[in-house]
């Protein structure tokens, strides 16, 4: 059975997506184990950072990481994301001020006692110097719907899943080039769309400060769940 048979129509019939040949290099099982282990070891050294060197970044490398994020799968291939790369110091200052206002309300009333207790090991509070100190922010927006050229609305699908996968790929790409990031979730995040002048179909998804790790950076001494805790196999 060919892929065309499975779709019940020829690839060149009107109304059908054009299908093109696709394959990947075939590795042998030993190479697959070795490569997957090597990649795991590299990714296992990824950590969120809250202190960044303010050294400027090779922005073309960061743009390449955003290109990688945009290779993510998305519902109906709608690619419902916008990545704002903010290096402008005035904008970062404004964003910090607005984020700290919201976070103050979070830490002083909006978050539950349990939540505050769960965050204690990370030493977070409403003060967010990293928004200004990091040389760049990648503010990720999800497009809750698409907009046609005539200004009409077109649906997007599985938007949170799609943008979440893209962000995962972005974090992976940034780690690959020796940059650290923080997936910062100020809440509510409406101020980000306002500060960056985003259109009405976009909602802030995450604010991601990025940079080189600050000299002397420390991170919480965390352990990850074991394979046995997270993997259930059904042979």
Q: Torsion over CA of 107, 109, 112 and 113, rounded to 10 degrees?
A: 80
Q: Does residue 53 interact with ligand IYR by CB under 6 A? A: no
By CB under 6 A, tell whether 103 contacts ligand IYR. yes
Query: For the chain, how are helix, strand and coil distributed in percent, rounded to 5?
Result: 40, 15, 45
Query: Smallest distance, Å, CB 49 to ligand IYR?
Result: 13
Q: Which of 36, 64, 187, 218 binds ligand IYR (CB under 6 A)?
A: 187
Of the two residues 135 and 186, which places its CB atom closer to ligand IYR in the complex? 186
Dist. CA 185–CA 189, nearest whole Å: 8
- Cβ(83)–Cβ(210) below 8 Å: no
> 174: which residues sit within 8 A by CB, 6+ positions away?
62, 65, 180, 181, 210
CA gyration radius, the chain = 21
Stretch of 13-21, 163-171, 179-187, 219-227 contacting ligand IYR, by CB under 6 A = 179-187
E strand or H helix at 85: strand 81-86
Binding of residue 185 to ligand IYR (CB under 6 A):
yes
- Alpha helix segments (H runs only) across 70-184: 89-105, 113-119, 130-133, 159-176
- Considering only 181, 184, 205, 208, the residue that binds ligand IYR (CB under 6 A) is 184
Write out 130-157 in H/E/C secondary structure: HHHHCCEEEEEEEECEEECCCCCEEECC
CB of residue 187 to ligand IYR, shortest distance in Å? 6
Residue from 135, 186, 209, 211 that binds ligand IYR (CB under 6 A)?
Answer: 186
Interface mask toward ligand IYR for 54-93; x: CB under 6 A: ----------------------------------------
| 136 strand-pairing partners | 210
| Smallest separation, CB 184 to ligand IYR (Å) | 5
142 binds ligand IYR (CB under 6 A): no
- What's the DSSP call for residue 224? P
**What's 208's DSSP letter?**
E
119 part of the interface to ligand IYR, by CB under 6 A = yes
The count of residues interacting with ligand IYR (CB under 6 A) is: 8
Nearer to ligand IYR, 37 or 187 (CB): 187
Compute the least distance from the CB of residue 208 to ligand IYR, in Å: 12
Nearer to ligand IYR, 30 or 221 (CB): 221
124 binds ligand IYR (CB under 6 A): yes
Residues in contact with 221: Cβ distance below 8 Å, sequence separation at least 6, in sequence order: none
Q: Which residues are near ligand IYR by CB under 6 A?
A: 103, 106, 119, 124, 184-187
């Amino acid at each position: 059975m060919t892929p065309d048979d499975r779709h019940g129509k020829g690839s060149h019939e009107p109304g059908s997506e054009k299908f093109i040949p696709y394959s990947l290099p075939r590795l042998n099982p030993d190479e697959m184990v070795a490569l997957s282990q090597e990649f795991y070891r590299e990714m296992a050294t990824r950590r969120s950072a809250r202190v960044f060197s303010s050294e400027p970044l090779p922005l073309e490398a960061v743009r390449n990481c955003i290109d990688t994020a945009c290779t993510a799968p998305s519902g109906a291939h709608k690619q419902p994301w916008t990545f704002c790369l903010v290096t402008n110091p005035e904008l970062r200052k404004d964003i910090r001020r607005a984020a700290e206002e919201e976070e103050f309300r979070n830490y002083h009333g909006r978050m539950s006692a349990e939540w505050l207790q769960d965050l204690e090991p990370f030493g977070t509070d409403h003060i967010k110097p990293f928004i200004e100190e990091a040389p760049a922010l990648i503010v990720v927006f999800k497009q809750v719907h698409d907009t046609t050229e005539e200004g009409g609305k077109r649906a997007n699908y599985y938007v949170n899943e799609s943008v979440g996968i893209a962000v995962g790929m972005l974090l992976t790409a940034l780690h690959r080039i020796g940059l650290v990031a923080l997936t910062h979730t100020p809440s509510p995040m409406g101020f980000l769309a306002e500060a960056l002048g985003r259109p009405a179909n976009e909602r802030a998804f995450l604010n991601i400060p990025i940079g080189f790790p600050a000299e002397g950076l420390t991170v919480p001494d965390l352990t990850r769940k074991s394979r046995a805790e997270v993997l259930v196999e059904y042979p």
